[in-house]
Amino acid sequence: MTDFFERKKQQLNIVLNDVQKKAVLQTEGPLLLLACPGSGKTTTMIMRIGYLIEEKHVDPKRIKAITFSRASARDMTERFSRFFPDSEPVDFSTIHSLAFTIARSYLTASGTTFDLIEGGGKGRQPVNKAFLLKGIYKEVLKEDCTDDELASLSTFISSIKNRMVPLEQWEALKGPVDKAGRMARKYEQYKSRTPGHLLLDFDDMLTIAEQALRDDEQLSERFRNLYDYLLTDESQDTSLVQHKIVEHLVAHHGNLCVVADDDQSIYTWRGAEPDYLLDFKKVYPDAQVLMMERNYRSSKEIVELTSNFIKRNQKRYPKDMHTENEAMVPIYIRQLDNPKSQLDYVTYELLGETNLNEVAILFRNNSSSTMYVNELHRRGIPFYMKDADDKFFSHWIVEDILNFMRLSFNTERKDIFAKIVMKMNLFISRSMLTQFENTATTGNVFDAFIQTVDLKDSQVAKMKDYKKGYAVIPDMRPGRVIQLIRNDLGYEAALKSRAEKFGYRIDHLLSILDTLEGIASQLRTMVEFATRLKELEQAVQNAKFNPAENAVTLSTLHSAKGLEFRRVFMIDLLKGMIPSEEDENDAAMLEEARRLFYVGMTRAKERLELLSYGQDEGKPKEDSRFLNEVRGLLLKPSKVSNAQTSVKVSKAAVPLNPDGIQRREDLTVGTIVKHRVFGQGEITVRDGNEIHIQFGEIDKRLDLETVLSLRLLEKVSI
């Protein structure tokens, strides 16, 4: 035992701490290894496998390691060969790869043929998942689906399969789009409509593999006998069906090492089951649980803050992440004036960076990245897109704006007019548009529509106003054109109506318009604007597949998991963004959003900057509740003595109100209080670390510790 660790210290300069050594040595039976960020889990897993081979003389072929992604499998394969160059290879693969092998064996034995309709593959039926779902959507709802709706529907179907919801219950499920359950059921029926032949997506590989291991004892026995030891990585993001597959495979020997961090479970919307880890001993009663709590990655300030931050979640193992790293620099919290100020601040900071590959800009939604792509590309700052999403440039709103512009070059184009007239807040029906399209007309489309279709006086008046608008568009700069489209041509009002009807998030739709307007504001003509969008689309592709060596990373918080950077900017930390409104209204989703925020903060090694802005287009913006939680943690009265070394806020600090409430017991339901910004209000709810205050017609939710530490409220005498 000692010889193994001493040998690896001499050969590889690897020194494990006591908990890591225990994880290596605990080879028999089930083990849940809870690994905090930066705790060396991959090294520990590789050393555990090496110990099995070198000290327990296990055949490498009898060891199976299951990873979260193909990239992880490649990384672990490379690390293992570097650590143990003389060993035979170990089988590192994704759960989907393993499931496909099992499912293929099962279907072949039963004489069932199949085609893969996701991720490519050869087959006799040239159909893919997206094409199939689009057709079903139109069949059920009688209209075309957008890219966003298609993605949401696909994720919904994937989630219910991964959660093993019985097929007969699907139709009654509430989904992200109307009648999603019915469409999911039709999708499954279509894929199995040919006797003896199936169409399979990625999730079918999992469900069929689980069914095979459950129902076919001979096949199950064959795959159980392949491996004597199983390891699973990133298990907090494993779905129920994936967990069940693993259960089947270790049923005989129980030699399972599950490596996970329940505090980094951020994929429940995709079917992950973080509660499975909390109930691990119910499935494996004799399991050992070890906690790797030492963080080797981040500075003392970052580790202490993030450790305290995540403890606000209730559904978690009680861990206490710590570090022996030195203090480096304060946590920076900056509220800029507006999105442009935030963009300028980050850009100028990047211009002063030498090693851009050690810097990351993290955000909740990909829509946040486009203005940064535009500015970085314009200034020649190289960037890498961790999860390049060029869907922005093909989004139907982008196409709408371009069509509005295209019509200005020739107002006799009926084909273009037909694409946008129903988006002018005119309440035009489909039958009216069809009538216009089927009538032979020439000349200005606005005049022709008035003459062809029976319109109300108000609609006629709007049509004439829109015609006047189009008369002046050709002389305008593109930024002003977009403003005219949004306001004078009624597009923004039409968007709000469409969002209400179809359940879109209007703030997301308007953010796309804001981004387009920001790009257009730097340009002189509409042709330049259209060209610029093409350039940026190509730049995003290059940033994904052919990035410069020294490039700053742009990534969503989800895709940043597993990465680390010397300096991290987390941007757009606003109420409604993270957590979203949906998160706020669901306790489980709120905890997941907090885990996502935690994942972002723990990517930083030395410098962490948390950024927000106070207004957008003249409208006030509120900081994320998580940002306020961070402020509260850093400015606790008990830590006031060292507050200056643990936090730095860009704006001048507001003097503490000497009359401000400092005791929890003074904040009770029914108490009348005064806030320096919102005025007088009444406390209506006190729930854990949050209080609700009714300020006139406005209900505000405030973080209790922040309110007390900053003395934000003053009691009002009645």
**618 and 526 part of one domain:** no
**316 and 264 part of one domain:** no
User: Minimal CA–CA distance to 417: which of 452, 448, 396?
Assistant: 448
**317 and 259 part of one domain:** no
Could you tell me if residue 576 is inside a domain? yes
Task: Give strand ranges (E) for 19-156.
Answer: 31-35, 63-67, 91-94, 113-116
Residue 591 contacts by C-beta under 8 Å, 6 or more apart in sequence? 313, 314, 315
**359 and 408 part of one domain:** no
Could you tell me if residue 310 is inside a domain? yes
Could you tell me if residue 713 is inside a domain? yes
**527 and 572 part of one domain:** no
Residue 626 contacts by C-beta under 8 Å, 6 or more apart in sequence? 309, 573, 578, 579, 593, 594, 597
Domain at 700, CATH number: 2.30.30
Q: How far apart are CA 475 and CA 167, in angstroms?
A: 58
**402 and 498 part of one domain:** yes
Q: How far, CA to CA in Å, does 70 sit from each of 75, 573, 675? A: 9, 31, 52
**229 and 176 part of one domain:** no
Q: How far apart are CA 431 and CA 476, in angstroms?
A: 34
**564 and 694 part of one domain:** no
**569 and 620 part of one domain:** yes
Could you tell me if residue 512 is inside a domain? yes
Q: Tell me the pTM.
A: 0.79
What local confidence, expressed as pLDDT, does residue 644 receive?
30
Q: What is the mean pLDDT of each run of 10 residues along the chain (718 residues)?
A: 82 92 94 94 94 94 90 89 91 92 94 85 63 90 82 89 91 87 93 91 94 93 94 89 92 92 86 82 91 95 96 92 93 92 93 93 86 88 78 86 92 89 84 86 88 87 88 90 90 84 74 88 90 88 82 91 94 91 88 95 96 88 93 66 35 56 85 75 83 77 74 79
**412 and 517 part of one domain:** yes
Q: How far apart are CA 125 and CA 64, in angstroms?
A: 34
Give the N- to C-terminal CA distance of the chain in Å, as an integer.
73
Instruction: Please count the structural domains in the chain.
Output: 5
**Cβ atoms of 441 and 452 closer than 8 Å:** yes
**440 and 503 part of one domain:** yes
Share of the chain above pLDDT 70, in %: 94
At 28, list the tokens: 């028999």
What local confidence, expressed as pLDDT, does residue 581 receive?
84
**631 and 712 part of one domain:** no
Could you tell me if residue 594 is inside a domain? yes
pLDDT tens track for 620-671: 999 999 999 999 998 864 433 333 333 343 333 345 677 788 888 888 888 8
Could you tell me if residue 697 is inside a domain? yes
Task: Say how many C-beta atoms besides its own lie within 10 A of residue 485's C-beta.
Answer: 26
Q: How far apart are CA 489 and CA 424, in angstroms?
A: 6
Greatest pairwise CA separation for the chain in angstroms: 93
Domain at 58, CATH number: 3.40.50.300
Could you tell me if residue 374 is inside a domain? no
Could you tell me if residue 414 is inside a domain? yes
SS3 420: helix
At 102, list the tokens: 């099992």
What local confidence, expressed as pLDDT, does residue 650 receive?
38
pLDDT tens track for 317-351: 999 999 999 999 999 999 999 998 999 999 999 99
Choose the final residue of a domain: 653, 673, 702: 653
**Cβ atoms of 427 and 406 closer than 8 Å:** no
Choose the final residue of a domain: 653, 668, 695: 653
What range defines the domain where residue 173 resides? Answer: 126-195
Domain at 503, CATH number: 1.10.486
Choose the final residue of a domain: 195, 219, 254: 195
Residue 681 dihedral angles phi and psi, to the nearest 5°: -155, 175
Tokens 């699907």 correspond to what residue? 170
At 241, list the tokens: 């069906």
